[in-house]
Structure 1
Amino acid sequence: MGTLGTQPQVDSVSIGRAPPVEAFRTTGQPAPLLPRVPSRGDCAPRYRNGEQGTCVNDKPCRGFGVLDGKQVICACFVRREGCDEHERCEVRQSRCVKESEPTFNLHL
């Protein structure tokens, strides 16, 4: 017959009570909201749902042109360089989503 291992000890006082609340060890910094700039040129990519991205520095941008300091860059909210080739910048969700994801009836 085998021997039983040691059984974990449970503090009977803590059963049924919520764990203590501890402060976060680090604080997060909010992402800066960069001002948008208008699209220029005719290179803006068109998404499968009919919407389109923008043209930034004569390059297709799957996002928006934003002013970062004195430089105009492509970004989709916190994602610099915009979305990947098979994604679109979805304003309703403030992020990149797959091109195949539906536009309407989003569950937020």
Structure 2
Amino acid sequence: MLVLLAVAAVYEALVGPTLHWLTGWFVYPALLYCGACVLSKRLHDRGRSGWWAALILASVVAVWPHPVGFLDFLFFVVVVWAGIELGVMSGEQGANRYGPNPLRAPLSA
């Protein structure tokens, strides 16, 4: 996810306003799709529904590049929660309803 945010930041820094208006229609949907896939996979690893990715991505879009008002503060809290939940905490120990733990090799019979 950090790679996707870095790509978005570099894109914002390199592209001028005119080119940004034209190319943004292609770049941002691709970044949002990739972000939703990565977040969904990590949320499944934590035992959560992938639909939480919609709230997280909406919050990132709302506070990008910086929060301004009170509602943005609430979105920022969601982003901080997601950073702790998905970036710091480990996945569930065993299998969950979304499948086996990807870090644990299945036992061969």
Give the TM-score, by structure 2 length.
0.23
Question: Which one scores higher on RCO, CA 8 angstroms, separation ≥ 6?
Answer: 2
Give the TM-score, by structure 1 length.
0.23
Higher-helix-fraction structure: 2
Higher-strand-fraction structure: 1
Q: Which has the larger radius of gyration?
A: 1
